Chain A
Amino acid sequence: MIKILLVDDYPETLEALSQLYELHSNVKIGGCALNGAELFKILEKDNTFDIISIDIQLGKENGLQLCEEIYQKYPNSFILMCSLEASEANQKEAIRAGASYFLAKPISSTSIRKVIEVYKATRMKRAFPEQFDHWVDDLLIK
């Protein structure tokens, strides 16, 4: 089960995002936060989230800065930037801040499916960093 933490300053957007993620049977919304303080409060209690989705504009806060902080604290987390502002500069900035994926609003079920696929592929890469050259022998010896 993929556990997701959503961060957005609009409760309506959080609700819409939750609906879209919950369409997938292997995804669970683990928590929602309206700002950075709420986000860190949740992360202090539970840091087992697979994906953290952050909006760039979080009222007075900057989502990119938040992304950088989370990346420093939890470098293995899959951070997803999700914003109305999807300029190339913002996307580059997000990657620089440690985001693994950028999702431009409006979001559809198809784009969520893609996020999940990318997440799975990333996870696979981490689990199996390289292929065995002599895999047949290796498996047979065992």
Chain B
Amino acid sequence: MARHVVAAVDDLPPGTRKFMTVDERPIAVFNINGEFFGLLNRCPHQGAALCEGPLIGLAQSSTPGEIEYTRLGEIIRCPWHGWEFDVRTGQSYCDPRRFRVKAYAAHVEAGASVVKGPYVAETLKVSVENDYVVVDL
């Protein structure tokens, strides 16, 4: 596993996502309310660019008509067939045992430590003054 520096924090404000290819894998990194998440941009169902789908909340219910809607923006819905996936874990909600999208841990590192390595900074210029989003892949 290598740690990849994929974006400067300032370039990925809350509510945005960034698409990239790392080690020949298409991934997307999301900033959801200041937390960062990496996800393979390929739906395990039929291969759609999953991460281009809308981010919604998690709808759950134990009583018909009464919906508990939580985790706003943490569920991504595939643009092709509407399947929901948990951005935190990659699990699907229609068939959690059989379908899961690969989720990658992402976090923020200070520029000073990023400069020291052992990170792979794909196409970014890294400077000690900035913070960076790092994805484990």
Q: Do A and B bind each other?
A: no
Instruction: Give the B-binding residues of A (Cβ under 8 A).
Output: none
Interface residues of B (CB under 8 A from A): none
